Structure formats: C-alpha cells, structure tokens
C-alpha cells in the first residue's frame, strides 16, 4: 500500500496508535532483547509531563529529528523540577512498537526548558516510522514520521502541505482539524508560528501572560500556550514539519537588529529579546542541532532534498535583512538585501546545482508585486520583497536564465491567498514569466474574513495586475501534489475559525507544469461563500493587530 492510500484516516490512525501504547512492549530492540535503559523509574516527577505532545522534523533520507518537552504546567514556567531528567525514546516500523529499529535515552535539561531533540540516524529512506518517549511511568503520545527519499532516487510523487500564520487569538485551529487527515510526506510552516501580541480580552481565546513576551520565560510560556492546542499537536504528531520563522516569533516587522519600535527598544534590549525568542523557538520545534541558537543568532536557512524530484530551499528573510525602506525611490537602492549576501550566494548556488526537477522555496513574505491601490497610483508594503526591488530583480533574472529548474516560491505572511506569475519587471507584462508564487493564507490570523469587502477592494487592482492569477481571503492551507510533470496545488479553506469546528473544502486548484514557468491553469472550485450581512470591514493591511477578532 502506498502512503497515498492509508486504510484509515490519519486522525483515527494516530488515536489507535496511542491506544496501543498501554499494551505494547517498551524498548524491545530489533534483536528481541530489552534495551539497557539508564533511567530508573522516577516516581517523583509531576503528572502530565507530556502535555505538549510530540513532533518530528527536517527529514533526511536516513534521519529525522524527534521532539518533545516535559512541561506539566506549560504556560506558567513548565512545572518541572530544576534537574536533568532522562527521557527514553524509541522508533518503530509499526504503530504497536513490535518492530523497534532505534532507541536510546536523551537528557531533558532545565536550562533548555526540559526540551528533547533526538536526531535519529540509520533509518531507511522514504519510510514511515512511529516514535514515542517515556520518562518514569509516563509515556508520550505516539507520533508518526517519514524519512525523505534517497538523494538519487526518482520518486514518482511527493505530497506535502504548507501553512503559516497561526495567531492563537485570531481564531481556533479548525484548519488543523482537517490538515491532520491529509496524506502528506511533510508540512512546511512558513512563519508566524506564535504572535507576540499581548492578551486581548475581546478575542475568541487569549494569550497567556500580561503583555508582550520579552524574557526567555515569557517566550517559553507563549510557545507552550500555542502547543496546548490539540489540533496543532495532532498535526505535529502526524507528519514531520519543516519550519522557518517570520517576524512575529520575535517582534512585528523586525529587521536584523532593528525592532518594530526602535524608540521603545534599545539595540541591547532588542538583542537580548531576540536571543530569548530564538532560544524558545528552538526549544519548541523539531529543528536539528545545527539550528541551536548562539546568543541572538540562529541558523535556519537550509536545504532539504526529496530525491531527484524536489529541492526545498528554506529561507530566512528576517535575520540578515536591511531595514525596511519607506519610499518607492528608497526601495530601488541596490544595496538593500532581504537575505544578506551570504544567504543569497548560498541560494544562488543551490538553485543552479542541486539537480532536481523542481526548486521549491520555503519563504516568508511575498515576492510578487503587490499594489494596494486601484488606479495609476501604487501603494506597497515595503516589508515585502516590494521593498527590496533590486535584489528581487536579480534573483528573478536568475530564475529566467535557464539555469534554475522550475522555481516555485511558497509564501506565508499575507493572511490571504495570492497565486502569481513572477516576472523580473512586474510593471512590464511583456517581460517573460520566470516562475510561480503560491502565497498561502493563514491558519487563523485575521480571523473570519469579509470576502465581499476583500474582493471589492482587490478585484479592481487584480484587473490592473495581470501577474495575479487568483486571490482570496479565507483561512486554510495548501496541499501540493508534485510529480515530474506538474505541481497540482489545492487551496483548502474552512468556513470559520471563530467556532471550535468547521467544514473544509477545496476552493481552487492551481497547476504549474514542468518546463513552463508560471501558473499554467487556475481551476476554480466551489463559489465563494457569501459575506456576512453585518460583517466587519476587512482591514486590507496584512499582518497587523488591527483586524477584527470576532463579529
């Protein structure tokens, strides 16, 4: 049976696997002997150490990172004793853990918030595995993960999802309740995993704490708040994730060492804040040790490969960027950089040399020109690539050079769907299309949309922007089905994030054909939902705190 034809839904699969834990043997090694496990049964630990669930990430052909964090009181400091705690882990071929292939003991340390990252090696490529942790008498939920195909294998298909922007206060994660039932090799998360906003009593649900996080403890509590969501936990347990961050994991619209409000945060204070934010980010996500922060720096741009089918170039467009320009003239400054010179060289080289059919970029902010005013006048957000035009043009000309196979950019941030053709000069429709960009919507940020107000504002601009092929502002995620000939991406949208459950449906699909840059076809699905009669006015400014939080 291929991984595309599971016998039961993922949700049932995970819960069945969890039920098997009680009956299954613990730490039986492949040769049938009990592994020597160094942690004796510790009966002094508080109950509920696995409240935050499990996760896996960054799959390689022979390895995957497993994650958990011991935190019985997740939003108030964790609740663990201030001492190292041994945590046993095991990886099996089956959900009942009869065929354990790897096991060991990791140490959860208080200075790392009792998080555990295990980089399991020696696995087989393109294979499903199941994993769990144990400490004392407590056993974690069971996670399922999957390794990447071998570097020179020729997989016929790759199915994955991408998502971004999960403001806890923006709404419930109804989208994740459906994403967990998809059949995926991995989930790419493109930024805004947490939001740093203070608790909002008017929102459908509230952040913990009393204000924005600044300290390490405050960022840990914020991450833990998000990870208490059962839908988010289930998607982490169901698939390996490949994550990158945008601004809200630290501070809205930060650029390198410059915060949103430099008059309020000194360079030293912001440096300490960034270090705290990155430390907590690493502690809560299944990143490899190479991404462990060093003070205020974290190495997150990296490349993953899925046989000869696809490379995934994961970008970091926050940590090395120039400060945002404020005028269109300033945005033409050739010295401005979104990536820094080192990351640009790494990207330029990797795009031309990796030898895969597709080049996918896991990216934060929109590349495609994004005018926000109908008529001849143009208004841009210079936090996007619209603010870094010379570098954008340089990279898009590289896309069109014939040396980059089938580039497709996957983008977050916008809280809307924006499916676009990419051109080196967006103002000149005569210049060639050199690639495609799929800007996903959000999981919850922005709350329930006013579809009519959105289209009233943006349809006239779309008519003037021929590179925009499809726009929409409902919440959801993308599922991508990739083979050697084409990428079929499906936009899944939920009806609401302001109720605890919602239906999901496919709003539209988009085809990119290998060898033909840009969007080959837009397949419209169900008609848009009608806007609520007395809905809020949709704020067209993305990614700010100014949108309505409920009707």
Q: Which residues bind Ca ion (CB under 5 A)?
A: 371, 373, 378
- Whole-angstrom Cα distance, residue 541 to residue 384? 12
Q: Are 550 and 466 in contact (CB under 8 A)?
A: no
Q: In what order do the strands lie in the sheet with 158-163?
A: 115-120, 64-69, 54-57, 240-243, 186-189, 158-163, 476-482, 486-494, 504-513, 516-524
Nearer to Fe ion, 89 or 189 (CB): 189
Q: How far is the CB of 371 from Ca ion (least distance, A)?
A: 4
Q: Can you say whether the dihedral through the CA atoms of 542, 548, 550, 551 is positive or negative? A: negative
Which of Fe ion, Ca ion, none interacts with 15 (beta carbon under 5 to 8 A by kind)? none
Least distance (Å) between residue 524 CB and Ca ion? 25
66 binds, among Fe ion, Ca ion, none (CB under 5 to 8 A by kind): none
Torsion angle of C-alpha atoms 37, 41, 46, 49, degrees rounded to 10: 30
Nearer to Ca ion, 378 or 506 (CB): 378
Query: Considering the complex, what minimum distance in angstroms separates the CB of residue 132 from Fe ion?
Result: 33
Q: How far is the CB of 538 from Ca ion (least distance, A)?
A: 18
Binding residues vs Fe ion (CB under 5 A): 165, 192, 445, 543
Q: CB under 8 Å to 334, separation ≥6 — which residues?
A: 390
Residue 316 interface partner, choices Ca ion, Fe ion, none, CB cut-off 5-8 Å depending on type: none
Is 369 or 444 the residue whose CB approaches Fe ion more closely? 444
CA distance linking residue 395 with residue 424, whole number of Å? 8
Contact present, 299 and 291 (Cβ < 8 Å): yes
Residue closer to Ca ion by CB (options 7, 375) is: 375
Residue 100's beta-bridge partner residues?
A: 92
Which does residue 308 touch among Ca ion, Fe ion, none (CB within 5 to 8 A, set by kind)?
Answer: none
Which C-beta is closer to Ca ion: that of 427 or that of 503? 427
Cβ-based nearer residue to Fe ion, 89 or 176 = 176
Look at residue 445 and give the partner it binds from Fe ion, Ca ion, none, a contact being a CB closer than 5 to 8 Å depending on partner kind: Fe ion
Q: Which does 506 bind (CB under 5 to 8 A by kind): Ca ion, Fe ion, none?
A: none
**Residue 412 C-beta: closest distance to Fe ion, Å:** 7
Rounded distance between C-alpha atoms, residue 54 and residue 487, angstroms? 30
The least distance separating Fe ion from the CB of residue 195, rounded to whole angstroms, comes to 7
Task: Say if CB 441 and CB 451 are below 8 A apart.
Answer: no
**At closest approach, how far in Å is the CB of 540 from Ca ion?**
13
To Fe ion, the closest distance from the beta carbon of 102 in angstroms equals 37
Q: Is 422 helix (H, G, I), strand (E, B) or coil?
A: strand
Whichever of 355 and 460 has its CB closer to Ca ion, that residue is: 460
- Distance, in Å, from the CA atom of 476 to the CA atom of 445, rounded to the nearest integer, reads 10
Per-residue burial over 297-322, b = 16 or more CB atoms within 10 Å of its CB, e = otherwise: ebebbbebbbbbbbbbbbbbbbbbbb
Which partner in Fe ion, Ca ion, none is near 249 (CB below 5 to 8 A by kind)? none
Spatial distance between the Cα atoms of 366 and 419, rounded to a whole number of angstroms: 10
The smaller minimum CB distance to Fe ion, of residues 105 and 540, is found at: 540
């Amino acid at each position: 049976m291929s991984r595309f034809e599971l016998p039961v839904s993922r949700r049932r699969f995970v819960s069945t696997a969890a039920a098997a834990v009680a009956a299954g043997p613990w730490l039986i090694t492949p040769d049938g002997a009990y592994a020597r496990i160094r942690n004796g049964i510790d009966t002094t630990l508080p109950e509920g150490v696995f409240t935050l669930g499990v996760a896996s990430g960054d799959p390689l052909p022979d390895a995957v990172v497993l994650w958990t964090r011991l935190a019985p009181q997740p939003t108030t400091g964790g609740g663990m004793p201030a001492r190292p705690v041994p945590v046993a882990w095991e990886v099996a071929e089956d959900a009942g853990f009869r065929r354990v292939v790897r096991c060991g003991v990791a140490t959860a340390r208080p200075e790392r918030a009792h998080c555990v990252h295990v980089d399991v090696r020696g696995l087989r490529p393109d294979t499903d595995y199941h994993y769990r942790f144990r400490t004392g008498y407590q056993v974690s939920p069971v996670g399922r993960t999957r390794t990447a195909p071998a570097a020179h294998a020729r997989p016929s298909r790759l199915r994955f999802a991408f998502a971004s922007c999960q403001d806890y206060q923006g709404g419930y994660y109804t989208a994740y309740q459906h994403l967990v039932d998809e059949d995926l090799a991995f989930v790419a998360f493109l930024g805004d995993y947490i939001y740093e906003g203070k608790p909002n009593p008017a929102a459908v649900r509230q952040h913990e704490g009393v204000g924005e996080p600044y300290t390490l403890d405050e960022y840990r509590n914020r991450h833990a708040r998000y990870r208490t969501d059962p839908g988010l936990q289930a998607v982490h347990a169901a698939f390996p994730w490949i994550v990158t961050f945008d601004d809200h994991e630290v501070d809205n619209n930060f650029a390198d060492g410059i915060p949103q409000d430099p008059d309020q945060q000194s360079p030293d204070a912001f440096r300490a804040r960034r270090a705290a934010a990155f430390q907590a980010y690493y502690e809560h996500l299944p990143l490899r040790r190479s991404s462990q922060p060093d003070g205020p720096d974290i190495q997150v741009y990296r490349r993953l490969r899925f046989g000869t089918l696809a490379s995934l170039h994961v970008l970091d467009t926050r940590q090395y960027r120039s400060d945002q320009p404020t005028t269109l003239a300033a945005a033409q400054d050739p010295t401005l950089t979104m990536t820094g010179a080192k990351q640009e060289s790494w990207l330029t080289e990797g795009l031309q040399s990796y030898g895969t059919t597709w080049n996918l970029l896991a990216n934060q902010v929109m590349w495609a020109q994004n005018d926000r005013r109908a008529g001849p006048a143009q208004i841009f957000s210079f936090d996007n690539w619209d603010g870094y035009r010379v570098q954008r043009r340089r990279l898009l000309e590289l896309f069109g050079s014939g040396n980059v196979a089938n580039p497709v950019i996957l983008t977050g941030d916008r809280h809307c769907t924006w499916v676009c053709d990419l051109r080196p000069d967006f103002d000149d429709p005569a210049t060639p299309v050199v690639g495609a960009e799929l800007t996903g919507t959000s999981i919850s940020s922005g709350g329930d949309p006013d579809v009519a107000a959105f289209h009233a504002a943006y349809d006239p601009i779309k008519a003037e922007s021929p590179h925009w092929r499809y726009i929409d502002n409902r919440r959801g995620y993308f599922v991508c089905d990739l083979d050697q000939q084409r990428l079929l991406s499906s936009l899944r949208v939920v009806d609401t994030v302001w109720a605890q459950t919602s239906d999901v449906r496919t709003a539209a699909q988009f085809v990119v054909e290998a060898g033909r840059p840009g969007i080959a076809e837009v397949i419209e699905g169900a008609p848009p939902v009608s806007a609520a009669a007395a809905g809020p006015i949709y704020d067209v400014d993305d990614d700010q705190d100014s949108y309505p939080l409920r009707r």
